[in-house]
């Protein structure tokens, strides 16, 4: 069960989706919610400025900007009557990524906002950094998300891989409460061994008392993400569960193709594990 949840509250982008989604989820699960916001100090600014007091003043100013973002969160969390704690940071992006990743490791679930490729923002980098550093599940909320989070209808994107299996296990608290679970496969006959097939996953979940059905799709690699989102819309899915492929962006590596495409054009909340 998710009883200790972390949420990253953006300071450079709209924060309402992250606040509304995380607060409603914590209220539904009776979970504690830790909110963290970062005021970012550009690395060049920190190195160019002279004098310790001047540098400290810049970091404090950014921390106060993070506090302002958290004030909105505090109001919503208090109104919902949930248990919560706030953490305001003033930091250069690389240090912020390290701090948020370390915080995420001691939480059952992290909630972040989908990056927006149309905006240049340090807040765009933090969600994927948390995914690759946390060692646990990360719930991505679309930046178009509004209202209360729900997970009655869940789609599991299954390719038999280690990261898909990790995501499926990490989603267990959501799966146990779901009204319908759809196992989604793409090109399964080409890519998945019989030992890790969708039918095997269905049997495994059945032993947990969970009823599933499988939808098998065929697509070129470039069309995998669009066809999954199309199915999610057709099935009115509330949540997708999938593995998060790739490596840290701030470490100058690259996200896997399907993961990158999903983060760029997400239309439904998606739980990822790496």
**CATH number of the domain located at residue range(s) 153-273 in this protein:** 3.40.50.620
List, for residues 138-182, the tens digit of each pLDDT value: 999 999 999 999 999 999 999 898 999 999 999 999 999 999 999
Q: With cut-offs at 50, 70 and 90, classify the pLDDT of residue 120.
A: confident
CATH of 4-141, one of 2.60.40.680, 3.20.20.70, 1.10.4080.10, 3.40.50.620: 3.40.50.620
- Residue 114 CA: distances (Å) to CA of 43, 175, 268: 24, 22, 10
The secondary element (H helix, E strand) that includes residue 52 is: helix 52-80
The per-residue pLDDT for 49 is 52
- CA 67, CA 58: separation in Å to the nearest integer? 14
pTM here?
0.91
The per-residue pLDDT for 117 is 79
Q: With cut-offs at 50, 70 and 90, classify the pLDDT of residue 262.
A: confident
Whether the predicted pLDDT of 257 surpasses 60: yes
Domains 4-141 and 153-273 share a fold: yes
Each domain of the chain, given as residue ranges in start order, spans 4-141, 153-273
Q: What share of the chain is helix, strand, coil (3-state, %, to 5)?
A: 45, 20, 30
The per-residue pLDDT for 212 is 97
Instruction: Return the percentage of the chain with pLDDT > 90, whole number.
Output: 72
Residues 6 or more apart from 102 whose CB is under 8 A from it? 133
């Amino acid at each position: 069960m998710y009883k200790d949840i972390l949420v990253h509250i953006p300071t450079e982008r709209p924060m309402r989706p992250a606040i509304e989604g995380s607060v409603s989820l914590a209220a539904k699960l009776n979970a504690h919610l830790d909110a963290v916001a970062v005021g970012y100090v550009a690395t060049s600014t920190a190195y160019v400025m002279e004098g310790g007091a001047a540098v400290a003043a810049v970091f404090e100013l950014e921390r106060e900007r993070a506090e302002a973002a958290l004030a909105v969160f505090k109001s919503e969390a208090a109104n919902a009557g949930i248990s919560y704690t706030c953490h305001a940071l003033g930091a250069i992006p690389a240090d912020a990524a390290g701090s948020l990743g370390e915080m995420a490791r001691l939480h059952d679930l992290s909630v972040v906002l989908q990056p927006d490729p149309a905006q240049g923002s340090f807040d765009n980098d933090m969600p994927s950094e948390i995914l690759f550093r946390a060692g646990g599940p990360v719930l991505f909320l679309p930046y178009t998300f509004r209202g209360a989070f729900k997970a009655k209808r869940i789609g599991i994107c299954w390719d038999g891989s280690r990261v898909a299996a990790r995501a499926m296990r990490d989603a267990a608290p959501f799966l146990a409460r779901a009204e319908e679970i759809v196992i989604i496969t793409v090109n399964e006959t080409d890519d998945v061994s019989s030992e890790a097939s969708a039918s095997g996953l269905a049997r495994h979940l059945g032993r947990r008392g969970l009823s599933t059905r499988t939808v098998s799709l065929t697509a070129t690699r470039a069309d995998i993400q669009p066809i999954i989102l199309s199915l999610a819309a057709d099935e009115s899915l509330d949540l997708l569960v999938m593995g998060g492929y790739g490596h840290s962006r701030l470490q100058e590596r690259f996200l896997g193709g399907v993961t990158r495409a999903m983060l760029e054009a997400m239309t439904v909340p998606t739980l990822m594990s790496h």
